[in-house]
Amino acid sequence: MVLGPADVGHRVVVRRAVGGSADRPLFTDLLGELTALTPAELTIATRRGTVVVPRSEVHRAKRVPARRRATTREIVALEQVAAAGWPAPETERLGAWLLRAASGWTARGNSALAAGDPGLPLPAAIDAVVAWYAARGLAAAVTTPLPAAARVAAALDARGWRAAPATLVQTAPIAVLLPRAPLPATRKLAGEQRAEVRLEPVPSAGWLAVVGERKGGLPAAARHILTSVPQVRFAHGYDDSGELCGIARGVVTDGWLGVSLMEVAPAARRRGVARQLLRALAGWAGSAGADRAYLQVEEGNEPAVALYAGMGFTTHHPYVTYRTPSG
């Protein structure tokens, strides 16, 4: 079977010729994510790292079923890691649930993370969430990682709560994200854009301006979320005129790199800027002890989903954030 562009981002098995005699060729099998495909070669992210296979060595290749579905324990653990990487200034525990408030800045910072047992019957737990947010002048919201919080989602549906579009939590090994040669903290981007990627421990005014415009302002709670993680870097991409053309934020918590707020200026899109920002953050995170990366992307954002699939990200689980009905 021949692999094509539609197979990029999927799990594949490739039988590769590795030598042998004239009457008995030798082969080896590679299993992993197909992260890139060109007329000359296939790039496969395996558990042991990235392997580039010349097409001339491919004997057979086919797509195989996706990895097993993440367990409830794995979903809850990754959600807790992600919450630590996006820390709301006010939090409180309701059993294993995490209630978060950040002056209304972002859904993640102002929703109850329903991951685990709330320590109350489900109807009472939902009522407690509503009361907690009402006391802070906020509409209640509950984030439901799926399928781990399927019961919670069903209960909210039954109450008539509004569900936002699904968000995908995607993961990849750090080794898959790195280029074949190590990236320094500052380097030239490939292609026509010819920009610099700089990783800074604090965001520049220009970086904050981009985020503020995208998110509708930057209250004090936003500064807390952005900067209070001990291991954090703010990626800045500059074009050859010195203008900021791309940004991203990376944090390392519990051995994971969390990537967020990826944004590329319209004039610089489709020129490799996002890939270089992500790779620079991966290089830093690897040196900071991370071996895996995660990010969140809306399921309907097809260009972003395709970009991340091409870099080796696969979906770990989705989540849906519910908000109480208005009125």
Give 72-115 pLDDT, tens digit per residue: 999 999 999 999 999 999 999 999 999 999 999 999 999 999 99
Range scoring the smallest mean pLDDT among 175-184, 186-195, 232-241: 186-195
- Across the range 238-255, mean pLDDT stands at 94
Measured in residues, the chain has a length of: 327
- Asked whether the predicted pLDDT for residue 266 surpasses 60, the reply is yes
Q: In the chain, how many domains are there?
A: 3
| Same domain, yes or no: 174 and 297 | yes
| Same domain, yes or no: 196 and 292 | yes
Banded model confidence at residue 195, pLDDT cuts 50, 70, 90: low
Residue 326 within any structural domain of the chain: no
- Asked whether the predicted pLDDT for residue 183 surpasses 60, the reply is no
Higher pLDDT, 162 or 311: 162
Residue 39 within any structural domain of the chain: yes
Higher pLDDT, 232 or 192: 232
CATH number of the domain at 219, please: 3.40.630.30
CATH number of the domain at 24, please: 2.30.30.100
Give dist(CA 235, CA 229) in Å, integer.
15
| Same domain, yes or no: 189 and 265 | yes
Q: Burial letters for 107-139: b for 16+ Cβ neighbours within 10 Å, e otherwise?
A: ebbbbbbbbbebeeeeeebbebbbebbeeeeee
Q: What is the pLDDT of residue 187?
A: 44
- Asked whether the predicted pLDDT for residue 310 surpasses 90, the reply is no
> Phi/psi at 211 (nearest 5 deg)?
-65, -40
- Across the range 141-163, mean pLDDT stands at 96
| Same domain, yes or no: 150 and 202 | no
Sequence-separated (6 or more) residues with CB below 8 Å from residue 33: 9, 10, 11, 12, 44, 45, 176, 312, 314
Banded model confidence at residue 179, pLDDT cuts 50, 70, 90: low
Q: What is the pLDDT of residue 25?
A: 76
- Asked whether the predicted pLDDT for residue 40 surpasses 80, the reply is yes
CB 299 within 8 A of CB 318: yes
Rounded alpha-carbon distances, angstroms, from residue 17 to 21, 32, 34, 36, 294: 11, 17, 18, 20, 34
Range scoring the smallest mean pLDDT among 13-22, 204-213, 281-290: 13-22
- Asked whether the predicted pLDDT for residue 219 surpasses 80, the reply is yes
- Across the range 219-231, mean pLDDT stands at 97
Average confidence score pLDDT of the chain: 89
| Same domain, yes or no: 239 and 310 | yes
Q: What is the pLDDT of residue 22?
A: 63
| Same domain, yes or no: 85 and 182 | no
Banded model confidence at residue 184, pLDDT cuts 50, 70, 90: very low
Residue 273 within any structural domain of the chain: yes
Note down the domain range covering 295: 170-317
Domain boundary among 99, 134, 165: 165
| Same domain, yes or no: 161 and 182 | no
Higher pLDDT, 277 or 184: 277
Banded model confidence at residue 190, pLDDT cuts 50, 70, 90: very low
Q: What is the pLDDT of residue 308?
A: 87
- Asked whether the predicted pLDDT for residue 135 surpasses 60, the reply is yes
Torsion sign, CA atoms 21, 30, 305, 183: negative
| Same domain, yes or no: 281 and 220 | yes
> Phi/psi at 98 (nearest 5 deg)?
-115, 115
As given in the structure block, the two tokens for residue 233 are 């870097």
Banded model confidence at residue 28, pLDDT cuts 50, 70, 90: confident
Residue 25 within any structural domain of the chain: yes
Residue 27 within any structural domain of the chain: yes
| Same domain, yes or no: 178 and 313 | yes
Q: What is the pLDDT of residue 194?
A: 54
CB 225 within 8 A of CB 88: yes
Range scoring the smallest mean pLDDT among 159-173, 185-199, 206-220: 185-199
